[in-house]
Amino acid sequence: YSADIEFVRQLIADTLARNEKVLKLPKPLIILQDFGEYAVGVRTLIWVADLSVAGEVRTEAMIDVKKALAEAGIGLQIKPLS
């Protein structure tokens, strides 16, 4: 909850824009999904030209976004074990 949501959304958008396999139009959607118990949920939707590589592109995009968030000092919240 401490991260600036607009900064996070822009960081994700900028990261996805650098991936040549993610279509520019329609633009990726970065949606505030929910306010969870431990984190704000963000959902990202991307489009690709070739559905046969959609899973690979999604994986690449997720890795890129995770790296960008980590470099910006934004951690992914993990629910503590009880």
d(CA 55, CA 7): 26
H-helix or E-strand containing 13?
helix 5-17
0.75 surpassed by pTM: yes
Confidence of residue 82 (pLDDT cuts 50, 70, 90): low
Tokens standing for residue 5: 């949501």
Write out pLDDT tens, residues 51-60: 999 999 999 9
Write out pLDDT tens, residues 7-66: 999 999 999 999 999 999 999 999 999 998 888 899 999 999 999 999 999 999 999 999
| Rounded alpha-carbon distances, angstroms, from residue 12 to 6, 26, 52, 79, 81 | 10, 15, 24, 22, 28
